[in-house]
Structure 1
Amino acid sequence: MYTTQLDNGTLNNYAVEPKMSYAEYPTVWEQKRYLKQGAVAALFVTALVLVSFVVS
């Protein structure tokens, strides 16, 4: 942590900034995995909606 002190005695604390890293485009197998996860999530939400209609 980087700390400075002003003339009137006030302390200012500054956080250490992390090193920047850039996101990379997902590979083909990661894209397929995301597609499968999206399909499973859509089925799950659809099932929840259908169950809520049946119960009510």
Structure 2
Amino acid sequence: MTATQGTSSMYTTDDRGVLNSYAMEPAMTYATYPSEAQQRQYALQGAVAMLFVSLLIGVAAAA
């Protein structure tokens, strides 16, 4: 089995010449911990989303 790595695709071929194409895996990167401002923004977005869903459930229950 022969493995070939190009710039845009990777594949292997077996003894009969059958190709097995597969995607290139991107380089792994690690996430950074959110800053204080980002954490406050996420908390605010979560509170607004909970209020919105509560209002939707209230309107559906009242109808």
TM above 0.5, yes or no, is yes
RMSD of the TM alignment (CA)? Answer: 0.9
Give 2:40's aligned residue. 32
- Corresponding pairs, count: 55
Query: Which residue, out of 48, 54, 57, partners 1:49?
Result: 57
Give 2:20's aligned residue. 12
Superposed CA offset, 1:1-56 (max 9, x none): 1122111121111211101100111100000000000000010011011101111x
Gap regions ≥5 residues in structure 1: none
> Which is bigger in relative contact order (C-alpha 8 A, separation at least 6)?
1
Q: Kindly provide the amino acid, as one letter, of the partner of residue 46 in structure 1.
A: S
TM-score (norm 2): 0.80
More helix by share: 1
More strand by share: 2
Gap regions ≥5 residues in structure 2: 1-8
